Amino acid sequence: MALLDENRLFSVEPALRDRARGLYDTVRDLPIISPHGHTDPRWFAENAAFADPAALFVTPDHYVFRMLHSQGIPLADLGVPRADGGPVEGDARKIWGLFAANFHLFRGTPSWLWVNHALQEVFGVTQRLNATSANAVYDQIAECLTRPDYRPRALFERFNIEVISTTESALDDLRWHQMIKDSGWGGKVITAYRPDAVVDPEFDGFADNVVQLGALTGQDTTTWAGYLAAHRTRRAFFKTYGATSSDHGHPTARTEDLPQDVAARLFERALQGKCTGDEADMFRGQMLTEMARMSIDDGLVLQIHPGSWRNHSRDVFARFGRDKGFDIPTRTDYVRALHPLLNAVGGRSDVTIIVFTLDETSIARELAPLAGVYPALKLGPPWWFHDSAEGMRRFRETATETAGFYNTVGFNDDTRAFCSIPARHDVARRVDCAFLATLVATGRLDADEANEVAHDLAYGLAKQAYRL
Amino acid sequence: MALLDENRLFSVEPALRDRARGLYDTVRDLPIISPHGHTDPRWFAENAAFADPAALFVTPDHYVFRMLHSQGIPLADLGVPRADGGPVEGDARKIWGLFAANFHLFRGTPSWLWVNHALQEVFGVTQRLNATSANAVYDQIAECLTRPDYRPRALFERFNIEVISTTESALDDLRWHQMIKDSGWGGKVITAYRPDAVVDPEFDGFADNVVQLGALTGQDTTTWAGYLAAHRTRRAFFKTYGATSSDHGHPTARTEDLPQDVAARLFERALQGKCTGDEADMFRGQMLTEMARMSIDDGLVLQIHPGSWRNHSRDVFARFGRDKGFDIPTRTDYVRALHPLLNAVGGRSDVTIIVFTLDETSIARELAPLAGVYPALKLGPPWWFHDSAEGMRRFRETATETAGFYNTVGFNDDTRAFCSIPARHDVARRVDCAFLATLVATGRLDADEANEVAHDLAYGLAKQAYRL
Amino acid sequence: MALLDENRLFSVEPALRDRARGLYDTVRDLPIISPHGHTDPRWFAENAAFADPAALFVTPDHYVFRMLHSQGIPLADLGVPRADGGPVEGDARKIWGLFAANFHLFRGTPSWLWVNHALQEVFGVTQRLNATSANAVYDQIAECLTRPDYRPRALFERFNIEVISTTESALDDLRWHQMIKDSGWGGKVITAYRPDAVVDPEFDGFADNVVQLGALTGQDTTTWAGYLAAHRTRRAFFKTYGATSSDHGHPTARTEDLPQDVAARLFERALQGKCTGDEADMFRGQMLTEMARMSIDDGLVLQIHPGSWRNHSRDVFARFGRDKGFDIPTRTDYVRALHPLLNAVGGRSDVTIIVFTLDETSIARELAPLAGVYPALKLGPPWWFHDSAEGMRRFRETATETAGFYNTVGFNDDTRAFCSIPARHDVARRVDCAFLATLVATGRLDADEANEVAHDLAYGLAKQAYRL
């Protein structure tokens, strides 16, 4: 039995399905460009075997464990590590069994597709995951993981990844990237500059982090000028490990373009831990504009991932820490929020700002009109809860008529679930081809144009936008 | 002539239509679970004949008379009772004639389907409703209403209703429910606890209502502790009439979890009529959390129906009172609003909170992510203006990928239009089957899974979520 | 080669496509009612030849030049005039060449359809626009423009325009309309009353404009009573040039219904330039209600076009002025904003208020419920960024179930791109017919009803709502 339908995500109408399929056949085997994500560079550095099926599919995947949690399964029973290091379930087979027995919860969700894709295409599983098949599937995956062709580098090559970007803190020493470099392996694994720890006054240990940034860069980060110089130095360091972008995950999309003396005083308050909530937001906003100005000089693409209320459950945050499924999107106003940034640099063609959204209502109303006129601004692909067939369809339907295709930047998988990467890119390619086929079949695009656009969406735009 | 298309609401593509139809055939005859609505228990208690076609189809149905009003037909001409008891049109045939002559206004609206369904399936009407057919259709319905098999209990049985919940004020004596009990009739008609009159400081006569609550329960409702005890007592009373849920219709989704002494002082101000608008909202919000805590003990399911600006027209409110079509949805922020409630009880599996929304933008952005991680939270079905084919489709398309199916609770008809109940459940079953068929046909669900889910959506989930 | 697909914008499923096509065939040749737009009355007054292809397709069309700008092409290179009158590209063929070489940017946008429609249907072009064909297409259009049958009046007649409304400032002398009148030509070109310059305290030269309004009307516009009388006088003047509507483009949808003495004092502050931003918004809001009261007497239909943040780029505004693609929609709250206006006049059947939105989220949530109950309120068609196939589909899907068809007002092209008018009405007719065909095929409307509604949407509703 096949877990996957060969024509999945195409239209059901036969002629339209064939058209989508035909487009898809021209892009399905293109290399994967993965310009934004959260895989662990250590995998590729050490190239050690993955531990077990649960460690690969359950424990690190917040899509998976949050859904199980929503139906009353405690996180500890799924092996999710506790913040205090206390005991959690350690029996991988038991965790896998819980997952398998509850796999019906994922019906209609992207995880259903991603997991089935990985099971079938990566591990050759042909039986559906459930309580009955749990052990057999576990064994099959576990056996694979012992083999050299299931080591991270082998999978990287098998997945046909042309380039993948990880994301590291500005304070990271990039040792794993150095180790990859030193290894002589040809896989292109690059980093991205993620300075939350040193640009967010509300980040744990902000002031100490800024001191550490100074130490790492030899700059005097007690002054605004030195602090900015330290960022420039550190960005240059990241560039030596292939970085072509920075990334910023702020609670709001707020930007600022304050006079430098005002910004300097705000920085001082931030260092002293005196910022109000609003001032902290203002400082983060100022730093987006500063980063954009640095981008003009060093060419790093600026990515903004705003609008998530992090750690909504105080209890789960206290017990399990960050990234446990309790990050909930909120309404985000881009028109006012991006005004300072866009007035500072939005008219330039020598800087690229990629904005992502968790608030789909903003696409047709705000983001497509903004990206459809400011040269610097591009729309990031459907993100997180919208990295799904319906989310991608809605993105194209609401973005394209105003922003076109060429103010978008292809697909990001944005994942830490390595085996889901081919599945995610495959979903994006299928949905985009289905969309293009519909445009052609309804007289809104010519067939040869659709071929070009399909290639651009699957490959070309990501390479170009991220300067890869 | 048939008023209804046998394949209505399925896809037009033949193979997909057949698949949807096949799924639907497995659920079309399942009993109706109606866990939330506003039918009048007196109907089932007295089992008297319904008065006339206008009293059944026009006067009590705000979907119907608001649309006629929007095109300039005065409410009084439709027999809608005046607040001051002054004269309104009393000739049922004349009211029916106005409705019939303007039935084209309902083209493309759910009322078109509901009315046609009731005309054909309940009353055997085969001619389209319009000015020409008005009298003949009136006569046909009127004749039916004289017959015993059109009495409320007979229709209840014919509609295959397994259980229906009405909604009563916390101050209601539940006499009609007692009369149903005493009658020995086997129809399962239960109540639900609706305490707006005694939890909303802005409700007409709030302080007096609280006094009355005290009298009914033997508790000292002048104190916060006594007031909470009175609710517990009253909820227990409602449970003896089958209640499995409470229901709360607040202007916002705000919840609070104040320290008990602060809540007690707020209650005091509420009793004294001293609450500001914001304090009244805060008190309502606090009571949601208090009700949730009571639910942990007594098992009532907590329903929240927020976000409607009631009585938008001051003039119509003054002349005709509440529920006259002038309740207009507003934007609702659930992430911040539900934070106190979810932090208090959201992590528990022994309490169920069902949230409805009139703001569809919140589904993909806020409610699905919240329901997709908090065990206590479930998503109510498309409500009110969204109880429609397009509303249901959008609900599934925006909720499912993040919340799945098992964090939703099946369908509610939420109606006071008795004859529309089979029509409404039929629409929901059709739209859900069409959605599932699409998932199967596009490789996002296996066929046998779709069968299971179809049954769950039509029957199982409502029973389970409402503990019926 | 045909640039256009005969079955464009219909469903792909063959039976449904045929049904849509059948409906469309009954409305495709209906005359165009264009009750709201921005064509230049001078064209019809002087009936001079259009200058060149660039002046027809590029320079005046903000949809076109904003997209080119978003990909880094300077506005000056497209011949967009500078605010200071400084030099910009003047070579029409060069501008056209830039447009042609970048026409791929419009893939998937409505401009792709509009431009191809105009090229094929108006100018007989059969080759696709790109760098290779640029010169040949330019020559073909330029040759046409020399011929008498391409003069504005000839095109007006060929486009089968029954009536078109332009939009003029309240201070306009309507000389071109007078010239049309005097010419004896039979084309019906009417004006609309657009008083932004004299109702918006933040408009450039507001106080002077009000003085000028006084001079034009012989009223003492230094007093509130005289100011209102001046509007009444001026509206009467516009009516002599066929006006049946006024139009109001405010940043928000705010309305007010202040006591007259409060309004008078606010007017005084506005004249003195003392209004805060909030007071200016309040005054504009008050004027909407005043205009609605005037409408009761003189019958002009009140149009509200709210919710655009004008001139988002300060730099482009400074260099190129208004309407350069930097007007970005914002969230708009209609429930609260329209409350004063609707409470003042919303219950009346003798006044018509047409509201447009750039915030699609408000349609299902706010506008359809409001229009579905207030007799005075109607929903304007999809506007600006939503004047597109997907925008129109979403409008029908979100508006119809609550507001029906008869609380909508047909289509507006709202354009200054003359040759796009037939294309735009054609898109609307096709999308509406596709929507109606879907309703019929899914059992939500009878076939003969769909025929009636198709005619109403294409022709009848616009005539009726705008009293044409």
Asked if B174 and B238 count as a contact pair (C-beta separation under 8 A), the reply is yes
At C302 the three-state DSSP class reads strand
Are B380 and B279 contained in the same domain?
Answer: yes
In terms of CA atoms, which chain A residue is nearest residue B394? A390
Average pLDDT over residues C184-193: 97
The model's pLDDT over A244-272, given as tens digits with 9 standing for 90+, comes to 999 999 999 999 999 999 999 999 999 99
- Per CB-CB distance under 8 Å, the chain B contacts of A70 are 371-375, 377, 403-404, 407
The band of C114, judged by pLDDT with boundaries at 50, 70 and 90, is very high
pLDDT at A220 over 90: yes
Are C272 and C135 contained in the same domain?
Answer: no
Interface test with B, best of A328, A361, A386, A433 (most B CBs within 10 A): A328
Q: What are the φ/ψ torsions at residue B90 (nearest 5 degrees)?
A: -120, -5
Q: What are the φ/ψ torsions at residue C8 (nearest 5 degrees)?
A: -60, 145
How high is the pLDDT of residue A107? 98
pLDDT at B47 over 80: yes
At A142 the three-state DSSP class reads helix
Residue B92 belongs to some domain of the structure: yes
What range does the domain containing C133 cover?
49-150
Q: A65 CA to chain B: closest CA distance, Å?
A: 9
Q: How many CB atoms lie within 10 A of CB C272?
A: 10
Strands of C168-169's sheet in order across = C168-169, C193-194, C245-248, C301-304, C353-355, C377-379
DSSP state of B146: T
DSSP state of C76: G
Asked if A372 and C67 count as a contact pair (C-beta separation under 8 A), the reply is yes
Query: Which neighbouring-strand residues pair with B163?
Result: B33
Average pLDDT over residues A77-100: 97
pLDDT at B142 over 90: yes
Are B53 and B182 contained in the same domain?
Answer: no
Residue C254 belongs to some domain of the structure: yes
For residue A404, give both structure tokens.
Answer: 């076109």
State percent of chain C over pLDDT 90.
Answer: 100
pLDDT at A306 over 90: yes
How high is the pLDDT of residue B388? 98
The residue among C127, C150, C173 that closes a domain is C150
Alpha helices, DSSP H, located in A149-240:
152-158, 175-183, 196-199, 206-217, 224-239
Closest to C176 in 3D by CA, of C38, C39, C42: C42
Residue B2 belongs to some domain of the structure: no
Are C69 and C173 contained in the same domain?
Answer: no
The model's pLDDT over A144-190, given as tens digits with 9 standing for 90+, comes to 999 999 999 999 999 999 999 999 999 999 999 999 999 999 999 99
- Report in angstroms the alpha-carbon separations of C333 from A342, B390, C253: 25, 23, 7
Exposure of C55 by Cβ count < 10 A (0-12 exposed, 13-18 middle, 19+ buried)? middle
Asked if C39 and C464 count as a contact pair (C-beta separation under 8 A), the reply is no
pLDDT at B123 over 90: yes
The model's pLDDT over A342-371, given as tens digits with 9 standing for 90+, comes to 999 999 999 999 999 999 999 999 999 999
- Per CB-CB distance under 8 Å, the chain B contacts of C449 are 104, 107
Q: A389 CA to chain C: closest CA distance, Å?
A: 18
Say what angle helices B389-403 and A389-403 make with each other, to 10 degrees: 110
Are B133 and B254 contained in the same domain?
Answer: no
Cα gap C445→C437, rounded to integer Å: 9
How high is the pLDDT of residue B424? 98
- Per CB-CB distance under 8 Å, the chain A contacts of B393 are none
For residue B446, give both structure tokens.
Answer: 């296996």
Report the DSSP pairing between strands A353-355 and B161-165.
Answer: unpaired
Angle at CA of residue C209, ends C203 and C210, nearest 5°: 110
Average pLDDT over residues C276-280: 97
Cα gap A328→A307, rounded to integer Å: 8
Are B168 and B283 contained in the same domain?
Answer: yes
- Secondary structure (DSSP) of B66-104: HHHHHTT--GGGGTPPPTT-------HHHHHHHHHHTGG
How high is the pLDDT of residue B120? 98
The model's pLDDT over A324-343, given as tens digits with 9 standing for 90+, comes to 999 999 999 999 999 999 99
- The number of angstroms, rounded, from the C-alpha of B304 to the middle of its chain's C-alpha atoms is 11
Task: For chain C, give the mean pLDDT.
Answer: 97
Residue C2 belongs to some domain of the structure: no
In terms of CA atoms, which chain B residue is nearest residue A385? B402
Asked if A170 and A234 count as a contact pair (C-beta separation under 8 A), the reply is yes
State percent of chain A over pLDDT 70.
Answer: 100
For residue B230, give both structure tokens.
Answer: 């009175």
- Per CB-CB distance under 8 Å, the chain B contacts of A108 are 396, 400-401, 404-405, 439, 444-445, 453
How high is the pLDDT of residue C305? 97
Q: A412 CA to chain C: closest CA distance, Å?
A: 21
Cα gap C455→C451, rounded to integer Å: 6
- Per CB-CB distance under 8 Å, the chain C contacts of B391 are 364, 401
Inter-chain CB proximity B442 and A325 less than 8 Å: no
Are A40 and A60 contained in the same domain?
Answer: no
Average pLDDT over residues C201-205: 95
Are C374 and C231 contained in the same domain?
Answer: yes
Task: For chain A, give the mean pLDDT.
Answer: 97
Are B122 and B241 contained in the same domain?
Answer: no
Cα gap A17→A25, rounded to integer Å: 12
The model's pLDDT over A103-156, given as tens digits with 9 standing for 90+, comes to 999 999 999 999 999 999 999 999 999 999 999 999 999 999 999 999 999 999
How high is the pLDDT of residue C202? 96
pLDDT at B1 over 80: no
The model's pLDDT over B212-269, given as tens digits with 9 standing for 90+, comes to 999 999 999 999 999 999 999 999 999 999 999 999 999 999 999 999 999 999 999 9
Closest to B409 in 3D by CA, of B353, B337, B350: B353
Are A232 and A146 contained in the same domain?
Answer: no
Return the CA Rg of chain B: 22
Asked if B107 and C403 count as a contact pair (C-beta separation under 8 A), the reply is no
At C462 the three-state DSSP class reads helix
For residue A283, give both structure tokens.
Answer: 């400082």
How high is the pLDDT of residue B382? 98
Cα gap A232→A252, rounded to integer Å: 24
Are C179 and C73 contained in the same domain?
Answer: no
For residue B300, give both structure tokens.
Answer: 């009532």
- The number of angstroms, rounded, from the C-alpha of B90 to the middle of its chain's C-alpha atoms is 28
How high is the pLDDT of residue A426? 98
Inter-chain CB proximity C385 and A370 less than 8 Å: no
Average pLDDT over residues C113-118: 98
pLDDT at A1 over 80: no
Residue C350 belongs to some domain of the structure: yes
Residue C6 belongs to some domain of the structure: no
Asked if B426 and B27 count as a contact pair (C-beta separation under 8 A), the reply is no
The residue among A128, A150, A172 that closes a domain is A150
How high is the pLDDT of residue C181? 97
How high is the pLDDT of residue C282? 98
Closest to B30 in 3D by CA, of B425, B406, B409: B425
**Minimum-distance CB partner of A108 among B13, B375, B400:** B400
At C379 the three-state DSSP class reads strand
Residue B1 belongs to some domain of the structure: no
Q: Where are the beta strands (DSSP E) in A58-118?
A: none
Helix (H) or strand (E) segment spanning residue B161 = strand B161-165
Inter-chain CB proximity B389 and C401 less than 8 Å: yes
- Per CB-CB distance under 8 Å, the chain A contacts of C5 are 442-443
Closest to A397 in 3D by CA, of A357, A354, A435, A452: A435
pLDDT at B399 over 90: yes
Domain count of the fold of chain A: 2
Average pLDDT over residues C133-141: 98
Are B376 and B444 contained in the same domain?
Answer: yes
Question: Which CATH number do you get for residue C84?
Answer: 1.10.2020.10
How high is the pLDDT of residue A57? 97
Query: How many CB pairs lie under 8 A apart between chains B and C?
Result: 131
At C410 the three-state DSSP class reads coil
**Minimum-distance CB partner of A315 among B11, B347, B441:** B347
- The number of angstroms, rounded, from the C-alpha of C435 to the middle of its chain's C-alpha atoms is 23
Cα gap A206→A219, rounded to integer Å: 17
Write the ipTM: 0.97
Closest to B134 in 3D by CA, of B62, B77, B58, B79: B58
- The number of angstroms, rounded, from the C-alpha of C208 to the middle of its chain's C-alpha atoms is 27
Question: Which CATH number do you get for residue A191?
Answer: 3.20.20.140
Q: A351 CA to chain B: closest CA distance, Å?
A: 30
The residue among B123, B150, B177 that closes a domain is B150
pLDDT at C252 over 90: yes
Residue C4 belongs to some domain of the structure: no
Exposure of A148 by Cβ count < 10 A (0-12 exposed, 13-18 middle, 19+ buried)? exposed
How high is the pLDDT of residue B209? 98
Task: For chain B, give the mean pLDDT.
Answer: 97
Of chain C, the end-to-end C-alpha distance in Å amounts to 39
Return the CA Rg of chain C: 22
- Per CB-CB distance under 8 Å, the chain A contacts of C4 are 443
